[in-house]
Amino acid sequence: MIKEIIGMKTAFKVWNFIMIGYAIVLTGMLAIAAFGGSLIAGNGLPFFIAFFPLMPVMFTFIMARAGLRGDYTTATKLGAVVLVLDIINLANNGSKSLFAVILAAVYVYMAISLNKYKY
């Protein structure tokens, strides 16, 4: 039982780094799109439109930080927020956001599992 929990903690920490890496890549892509759109449009509207897909990314950084610290309750709550925001983005953007929804769903499952066996 203890070995399984330690293995799950290790897998959860690795998953946190995967989530951080995905968030960094997505932040870069959104920044390029926002600045490029602003330059093409000649105004700042595309920059502010890019803020809404950036909200789950901001929560992902906070969520992963809590997960790396071992605060599974906060990680679960923020993971649920990220999951809901990713589902909203999935409804708006189509299948482009499916990967983010899968990442967040697995994260929430792992955080709930670890919170249950916290000792």
Q: How many CA atoms lie within 13 A of 92 on its CB side?
A: 10
pLDDT of residue 1: 65
pLDDT tens, N- to C-terminus, the chain (119 residues): 667 777 888 899 999 999 899 889 988 888 887 777 766 777 777 777 777 778 888 889 999 999 999 899 999 999 999 999 889 888 877 777 788 889 999 999 999 988 887 65
Q: Output the CA angle 84-86-91, nearest 5 degrees.
A: 95
H helix and E strand count, the chain: 5, 0
pLDDT of residue 118: 65
- pTM for the full model? 0.79
Instruction: Please state, in angstroms and rounded to a whole number, the distance separating the CA atoms of residues 73 and 111.
Output: 8
CA 25 to chain centre: 11
